[in-house]
Chain A
Amino acid sequence: MKDKQFWMVIGGLSLAFLIYWFLGHPMFNANRIVMFLAIIVIGATLLYNIRMAERGEEFYLRPIPGLKAVEEAVGRSTEMGKPVLYVPGIMDMDQVETVAGVIVLGHVSKMTARYETSLNVPVSRSIVMKAAREACRESYMLEGRPDMFHEDMVHYLTDDQFAYAAGVNGIMVREKPAACLYMGKFYAESLILAETGNSIGAIQIAGTASQAQIPFFVTACDYTLIGEEFFAASAYLSQKPELIGGVRGQDMVKAGVITVIVLATLFRFLYETWGIGFDVVKLLTVQ
């Protein structure tokens, strides 16, 4: 109950909704009430945690092994005098993975600025290019090395998936980067990239939530941030309270989901054996 303002707003809105509901809820699609409540409850949980984080509450996040490796990889590139290649996936900014990829890029570019290592970021969407460029520019400014930043370090190749993969491949075999980082949304091009990276002997670290591509990265890369680990990593790196709060909030929701699974199983058992309680399956079917 630390956040009085939050609870007051929630209380007020709930009351308003209850009144609206008992007035006969005009214009409300009552079939979807379960979804509506789920959205409100989960949304509120997330918001609450984000607010807590913004107010300076410290949340613990467990260490993620793949993240430490990023710094090592950049260090190794510096020693070898070779560039770092960063691929933020092939999708647009409307994909959360791309957003997380750009956040991680911000962190990586800080390291490259600090170590004075060159960074190469080929992208496949014009909007991603703009966002990635901004992220890099800011990092180089923060590290006090605006002189080392040049716009071409983030450059657009093509929108097409395989043409893009081929282009990145070309960069790899020509420039032979010592570290290849793949952080974003990937489809079938993942293995082309990872295998070529493997063949030039680069340290490879991947992060993606694309389920079908994770096994490729797991087998061909040195470290892989699997699904949510990747999102948590971007929170971890950015140290932005809203992201850390988001991870924490999602953890709470996850605990809630596990509870619901257990309870639903139990209720279903009770319902089907003795007809006690209510039909959970029907409840969870939202049309």
Chain B
Amino acid sequence: MIWKRQIPILIVAVVGAITLFGWFVDQPGIQAFVDDDATQWYDILASFAIILGALNLMKLQIQKVARKKKGWPYSLVAIGGFIFAITAGFFIKGVDDSVAVWGAHVTTEGTVFKWMFDYMFTPMSATMFSLLAFFVASASYRAFRIRNFEATLLLVAGIIIMVGRVPIGSMVSSWFIMYIVVLSLGIGVNSWKKDKMITFGVVGVGVAIVTIAGMMTGWPIDQPEIFYLPTIQEWIYFYPNVAGARAIMIGIGLGIFATSIRYILGIEKSYIGE
């Protein structure tokens, strides 16, 4: 039991305390250990963890084939892919030592490994990512709803950023936006007062004011500033957005700090499955 439980907890406590308080210790020996060797060990163990993950994966795929579970032929494809990648990684370089020695081959042009990277790994991971463009589009269409005031804010901010950030946004005249504002004001007044006359009056007056102002100033595309999309976009992104993001960030920072402290003090032991 002590091996399975107490020792891991002790390791976390000691290593955590050393790395945390190592920031404050002005002593070369401890500094050197904290900054260099401790991090190196971490890197090495992280690498072993990756390999463990890969082996685990293969173990599962092989089990799937052995037990002929549903879709097992695809597992054969996965195993084949793994064997191919391992062969390119460890057994066949495809070039001789003058081009790349073992170790350098994973980053050198012309090796089998690089070929695999260019024509298999790259297109697959990039396409997986870009699939999201389609899902974003359909989410915009089918899930992005004005359910309440909060959702409206989210939506409006999102649209302003989306249009204002790209070149097309700077081609939208601020006067056009002003007309839209007047119309939305009309919708708002209508649902508030429920009186067609008042709505009509508000929209009429609004349109008249905007039109007269426009004719007097000669319709400059980016004036007044507060109705020009690229400018509004920049304001939203630099101020209200940052305020919101910062509140979240401070909260997250405190949360991570608290959890880390709990790890170090041995209060939180989830990493050993408790």
Q: Do chains A and B touch in the complex (CB under 8 A)?
A: yes
Q: Which residue on chain A has the smallest CB distance to residue B30?
A: A27
Neighbouring A residues of B237 by C-beta, 8 Å: none
Checking A29, A191, A219 against B24 with a beta-carbon cut-off of 8 angstroms, the contacting residue is A29
Contact B271 A159 (CB under 8 A): no
* Contact A93 B139, CB 8 Å, known A27-B27, A156-B56, A211-B248: no
Q: Which of B126-134, B170-178, B192-200 contacts A (4 or more CB under 8 A)?
A: B126-134
A93 vs B156: C-alpha distance when bound (angstroms)? 37
Is A218 engaged at the interface, CB distance under 8 Å to the other chain?
yes
Q: Which of B136, B154, B258, B262 has the most CB of A within 10 A?
A: B258
Q: What's the tally of chain B residues with a CB closer than 8 Å to chain A? A: 50
Contact A94 B271 (CB under 8 A): yes
Q: Restricting to A148-170, which residues have a CB under 8 Å from any CB of B?
A: 155-156, 158-159, 161-163, 165-166
User: B-facing mask of A10-42, CB < 8 A → 1, else 0?
Assistant: 000000000000000001110010011001001
Contact A254 B254 (CB under 8 A): yes
Distance between B95 CB and nearest chain A CB, rounded to angstroms: 27
Is A194 engaged at the interface, CB distance under 8 Å to the other chain?
yes
Chain A contact residues: helix, strand, loop or mixed: helix
Contact B54 A159 (CB under 8 A): yes
Contact B258 A249 (CB under 8 A): yes
Neighbouring A residues of B60 by C-beta, 8 Å: 155-156
Neighbouring A residues of B268 by C-beta, 8 Å: 99, 242
Number of A-B contacts (CB under 8 A): 129
Q: Restricting to B47-70, which residues have a CB under 8 Å from any CB of A?
A: 49-50, 52-54, 56-57, 60
A243 vs B143: C-alpha distance when bound (angstroms)? 34
Neighbouring A residues of B92 by C-beta, 8 Å: none
Neighbouring B residues of A219 by C-beta, 8 Å: 139, 143-145, 154
Contact B254 A134 (CB under 8 A): no
Enumerate chain A interface residues (CB-CB to B < 8 A).
27-29, 32, 35-36, 39, 42-43, 46-47, 50, 92-94, 96, 99, 102-103, 125-127, 130-131, 133-135, 155-156, 158-159, 161-163, 165-166, 188, 191-192, 194-195, 198, 209, 211, 215-216, 218-220, 226-228, 231, 242, 246, 249-250, 253-254, 257
Q: Which residue on chain A has the smallest CB distance to residue B50?
A: A159
Q: Which residue on chain A has the smallest CB distance to residue B27?
A: A27
Checking B249, B262, B271 against A242 with a beta-carbon cut-off of 8 angstroms, the contacting residue is B262
Neighbouring B residues of A135 by C-beta, 8 Å: 273
A226 vs B244: C-alpha distance when bound (angstroms)? 12
Is B251 engaged at the interface, CB distance under 8 Å to the other chain?
yes
Contact B273 A195 (CB under 8 A): no
* Contact A159 B57, CB 8 Å, known A29-B26, A228-B255, A242-B262: yes
Contact B250 A257 (CB under 8 A): yes
* Contact A93 B248, CB 8 Å, known A29-B24, A159-B57: no
Known: A159-B54, A191-B132, A250-B255. 11 other contacts (CB 8 A): A29-B23, A93-B271, A99-B259, A99-B268, A131-B270, A162-B128, A198-B143, A211-B249, A215-B154, A220-B143, A242-B268
Neighbouring A residues of B144 by C-beta, 8 Å: 219
Q: Restricting to B234-269, which residues have a CB under 8 Å from any CB of A?
A: 245, 248-252, 254-259, 261-262, 265, 267-268
9 closest A-B pairs by CB: A162-B128, A134-B273, A96-B259, A159-B53, A195-B135, A220-B143, A27-B27, A29-B26, A228-B251
A118 vs B129: C-alpha distance when bound (angstroms)? 31
Contact B248 A227 (CB under 8 A): yes
Is B101 engaged at the interface, CB distance under 8 Å to the other chain?
no
